[in-house]
């Protein structure tokens, strides 16, 4: 499953805030549509997602370029995110879905899409 995640298509790095003030590098799939980018990582109770309400700046590394973004939870984009992810990652998306016993699929996913807008 790790191979499908890492080599199944483009993977970006999210610099994610932790409760203790540290920053963790997390590898995520990223999708784009109409000059917008979305990632999905964690459910609505995840620390870094709840923190977006008070501190929405986030850093993403893509193609070796580090950029700051304003990150906004975008639950209304859930179907769009999954459609784009399926189109972009194809077989890797299916393998990850199987590996997570269907919990990563659109219908059962508890993840929150996050829209990234350049500062």
Question: Is residue 28 a contact partner of residue 38, using CB atoms and an 8 Å limit?
Answer: no
**Domain of 27, in residue numbers:** 2-118
Output the CA–CA distances (angstroms, integers) from residue 81 to 52, 72, 74, 104, in the order listed.
Answer: 19, 14, 10, 12
Radius of gyration over every alpha carbon of the chain, rounded to an integer in angstroms: 14
Structure tokens at 13: 């790095």
The verdict on pTM exceeding 0.85 is no
How many folded domains does the chain comprise?
1
DSSP designation for 105: S
CATH number at residue 23: 2.30.110.10
Kind and range of the H or E run holding 87 = helix 78-99
The closest alpha carbon to 9, from 99, 94, 102, belongs to 94
| DSSP reduced 3-state for 117 | strand
- Cα 2 from Cα 6, distance rounded (Å): 6
pLDDT (tens place) for every residue of the chain, 119 residues total:
555 566 567 889 999 888 898 999 999 989 999 988 999 877 788 888 888 888 899 999 999 999 999 999 998 999 999 899 999 988 888 887 776 555 556 566 778 899 999 87
């Amino acid at each position: 499953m790790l191979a499908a995640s890492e080599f199944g298509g483009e993977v970006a790095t999210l610099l994610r805030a932790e409760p203790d003030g540290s920053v963790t590098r997390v590898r995520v799939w990223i999708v784009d549509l109409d000059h917008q980018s979305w990632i999905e990582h964690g459910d609505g109770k995840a620390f870094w997602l709840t923190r977006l309400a008070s501190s929405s700046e986030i850093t993403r590394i893509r193609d070796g370029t580090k950029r700051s973004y304003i990150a906004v939870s975008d639950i209304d984009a859930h179907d769009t995110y999954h459609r784009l992810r399926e189109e972009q990652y194809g077989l890797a998306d299916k393998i990850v879905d199987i590996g997570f016993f269907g919990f990563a699929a659109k219908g059962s996913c508890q993840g929150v899409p996050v829209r990234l807008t350049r500062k």
